Amino acid sequence: MSTAITLNQSDIPAEVSAKRPSQWRQKTGQKLQQILWALVLPLLVLGLWQITSAHEWVSPQILPPPSLVWQTLTELWQSGDLTSNLQISVERVAYGFGVGTVVGLLLGALMGLSKTVEAYLFPTFKALSQIPALGWIPLLIMVVGIGESMKILVIAKAALVPVTVNTLQGIRNIPPQFAEVAKVYRFNTRQLLAKVVIPAALPSLFTGIRYGLTHAWLALVTVELLASSEGIGFLMVWGRQLFQLDLVLATVVIIGAVGLLIDQSLQWLETHFLKWRRVAF
Amino acid sequence: MSAFKTRLQALGQRDFRGLVLPLGLILAWYLISKFNLANSAILASPYEVWKEGYGQISSGAFALDLVHSVSRNLGGFVVGGTAGLILGSLLGVSRWADRLISPSFNTIKSIAIFAWIPLISVWFGMGEPAKIIFIAIAAFYPTTINTYEGIRSVHRDHVEVARVFEFSRWQLFRKVILPSASPQIITGIQLALIYSWLATIGAEYFLKSGHGIANSMIDGREHFNMGSVLFGVVVVGVVGAIVNQLAFKLEKHLLGWRNRTA
């Protein structure tokens, strides 16, 4: 039936498949090269920063030297302030993101699969999602107070929107030809879901979850900057109030590190789950 | 006469199902406040919100806030979006740029944008430049990422076909890369519009100076004026919706050539 050329293992010339060990060496060499290239720019910036503060071109009040930031960072770690505040922040994100993702996936799938549900819900969802999580904060503070539930609600809302939008778009953007093929094969609903909708929507779904977690973390930082007495965002506000920019920069580094960890682990998951996609570059 | 008739017919054909939920919610809100089912200090009645809104509009305070918020939003969006398109294309097309810049970009990007606020406030003050810089950062990330990913996800086979036809670099970009990357680039621009509006609100919360929609919301909360806060929430939503509607129209206009499922 199909005219596609299939390549069997035996079709590959022997000299290609025999190159395993040197291939491995080549791969690690490439990796090393990649890391070296990646380090060029940060080292340049760091060097410039160090030179700037060594010559005091900028007042250390405004730009503390990198060494001081590093010292503050180690002190935060040794005193335990870092772990205790970070733990509180991570717990908040976990709760908010969990709630937001579950609701978002359900909402997105419902609207994507049923035109009727979409017609009723989507305009309202769209209107409400226009109001950034931040816009709700003054209102939420007045209604539920400044406590933990306000923070979790804001974080959940931040995660909900991208998850819903991407789930919906992923299902909607499935090419019509796929659905036609499914119709030709007379797929039932379950087959249609398992063999067409979910695989085709998966990349978009993943993007949604990735954005959801990123947004949740972003919302956490915002909420803690605005209203909290503990957590990583609070440390930053504290530093700003005391005009200790080394503390502010140290928390920036920590916030970046956690964000990077979140992003990298999700990217890793994405590449492992979506290996079957063929891309050009 | 006939124009009126066709307009009426067009009205009849429109989908009103989306109005059911909001109207129901407003009715529930009205009933709750009318029969005092909730603390009235916390839940202002629709009438109070209307009165507050009318007061702000007729005094001209609203127009002032709106103009300030929208212009700083657009300023930041244009600056950040343009920078994002340029960087995203560069990273997508050039392997060297990708190797050199992408790791740093991804690292910096991981820093939640609001974490820049304390630093921005020290370095650039509380005024307009600080706010625009912050909004531009917010618009910059999604356009860069989506432009990059759009170009990266161009199908290998398509590029091979272009090689077979010996397309020039410009032809490759114009006829292969741009058409297949454009949906994602436009997604990036849409996200940038949403983000920049979020950042506008944030900038007005944190860098409290001058006029703005969010400034008046904060004032409302400080004076425990629920009507003012709710009116602010509505305005933030309406402006966001208009911005998004424009983005949606743009997408439809630019991507009309694709056959879509829904």
Determine the longest span between alpha carbons in chain B, in angstroms: 75
Predicted pLDDT at A10: 45
Predicted pLDDT at B261: 44
Interface of B with A in 24-83 (CB under 8 A): 25, 42-43
Predicted pLDDT at A277: 59
Predicted pLDDT at A2: 41
Chain A: give the shortest CA distance to residue B116, in Å.
8
Query: Could you tell me which chain A residue has the CA closest to the CA of B229?
Result: A139
Write the DSSP assignment of B135-182 as a string of letters.
HHHHHHHHHHHHHHHHHHTS-HHHHHHHHHTT--HHHIIIIIIHHHHH
pLDDT tens readout for residues A125-159: 887 877 777 778 888 887 888 888 899 999 999 89
Task: Say whether B42 and A142 touch across the interface (CB within 8 A).
Answer: yes
Interface of B with A in 129-168 (CB under 8 A): 151-159
Cα–Cα dist B118/A71, whole Å: 20
Domain range A66-273, its CATH number among 1.10.3720.10, 3.40.190.10, 3.30.70.1560, 1.10.10.10: 1.10.3720.10
Flag whether residue B17 sits within 8 Å of chain A, measured between CB atoms. yes
pLDDT tens readout for residues A151-206: 999 999 989 999 999 999 888 888 888 878 888 888 887 888 878 888 888 888 88
Distances (CA, A) of B196 to A208, B65, B243, B244: 19, 17, 10, 11
Residue in B103, B119, B153 closest to A252 by CB: B119
Q: Which of A111-120, B78-87, B153-162 has the highest mean pLDDT?
A: B78-87
Chain A residues whose beta carbon lies within 8 Å of the beta carbon of residue B262: 115, 172
Contacts 24+ apart (CB under 8 A), A190-199: A197/A113, A197/A171
Residue in B157, B224, B237 closest to A127 by CB: B237
Quote the distance between the C-alpha of residue B236 and its chain's center. Answer: 11
What Rg, from alpha-carbon coordinates, does chain B have? Answer: 23
Contacts with A121 (C-beta within 8 Å, 6 or more apart), sequence order: A107, A110, A111, B18, B21
Chain A residues whose beta carbon lies within 8 Å of the beta carbon of residue B206: 225-226
Chain B residues whose beta carbon lies within 8 Å of the beta carbon of residue A280: 152-159
Task: Say whether B108 and A256 touch across the interface (CB within 8 A).
Answer: yes
Residue in B156, B237, B243 closest to A128 by CB: B237
Query: Could you tell me which chain B residue has the CA closest to the CA of A131?
Result: B237
Predicted pLDDT at B193: 87
Could you give the ipTM of this predicted complex? 0.71
Q: What is the mean pLDDT of residues A18-47?
A: 80
Task: Say whether B155 and A134 touch across the interface (CB within 8 A).
Answer: no
Task: Say whether B101 and A41 touch across the interface (CB within 8 A).
Answer: yes
Q: What residue ranges do the domains of chain A occupy?
A: 9-54, 66-273
**Residue percentage of chain A with pLDDT more than 90:** 18
Secondary structure percentages of chain A, helix, strand, coil, to 5: 80, 0, 20
Are B141 and B84 contacting, i.e. CB atoms less than 8 angstroms apart? yes
pLDDT tens readout for residues A82-123: 889 999 999 999 999 999 999 999 999 899 888 888 888 888
Q: What is the mean pLDDT of residues B198-207?
A: 87
Supply the pTM of this predicted model. 0.76
Predicted pLDDT at B56: 84
pLDDT tens readout for residues B93-144: 888 888 888 888 888 887 888 888 888 988 888 888 999 999 999 999 999 9
Across A20-34, A90-104, A195-209, B158-172, least confident range: A20-34
- Mutation to test the A interface, candidates B20, B114, B251, most A Cβ within 10 Å: B114
- Mutation to test the B interface, candidates A97, A139, A177, most B Cβ within 10 Å: A139
Chain A residues whose beta carbon lies within 8 Å of the beta carbon of residue B240: 130-132
Predicted pLDDT at A4: 44
Structure-token match 């930041």, residue found: B76
- What pLDDT band is residue B11 in, cutting at 50, 70 and 90? low
Query: Could you tell me which chain B residue has the CA closest to the CA of A262?
Result: B110
Statement: residue A17 has pLDDT above 50:
no
Cα–Cα dist B64/B25, whole Å: 30
Chain B residues whose beta carbon lies within 8 Å of the beta carbon of residue A257: 110
Task: Say whether A130 and B106 touch across the interface (CB within 8 A).
Answer: no
Chain B residues whose beta carbon lies within 8 Å of the beta carbon of residue A243: 122
Q: What residue ranges do the domains of chain B occupy?
A: 60-253
Question: Per CATH, is B60-253 categorized as 3.40.50.10310?
Answer: no
Q: What is the mean pLDDT of chain A?
A: 82
